[in-house]
Amino acid sequence: MKRPGVACVCLLLKGRAKWTEGERQVSQAVLNAGQVIEPGFGWVKSSRQAIKGRAETKLEARMDEAAKSRLPDFENFVTMLRRDK
């Protein structure tokens, strides 16, 4: 697999109800891998819901959280979004 991080995110976003037993085991291992993964995944899920629901105020709140997260990927993502506004 060329981009395991992307595959893990796609698996987590797939939704627990649709996971096979193997996917369930992999997803649990991914979530157990570090303290940053679970909160980061929660942020991605809530941001995805805000985007799908076209809830601009919720998305702004998610962006504020990401900007303060001290996670470079999230901070860069928010910087790019705000730059493109």
pTM value is 0.54
SS3 content of the chain, % helix, strand, coil (to 5): 80, 0, 20
What's phi and psi for 17, nearest 5 deg? Answer: -65, -25
Structure tokens at 9: 């995110």
Q: Does one domain contain both 13 and 42? A: no
One domain for residues 42 and 79:
yes
pLDDT of residue 1: 46
Residues 50 and 25 in one domain: no
In angstroms and rounded to an integer, the radius of gyration of the C-alpha atoms of the chain is: 14
> pLDDT 10s digit of each residue in the chain, 85 long?
445 565 676 777 777 788 889 888 888 887 777 666 777 777 788 888 888 888 888 888 888 888 887 777 778 888 888 887 6
How many structural domains does the chain have? 2
Do both 28 and 48 map to the same domain? no
List the domain range (segments joined by +) for residue 22.
1-33
Asked if residue 43 and residue 19 are part of one domain, the reply reads: no
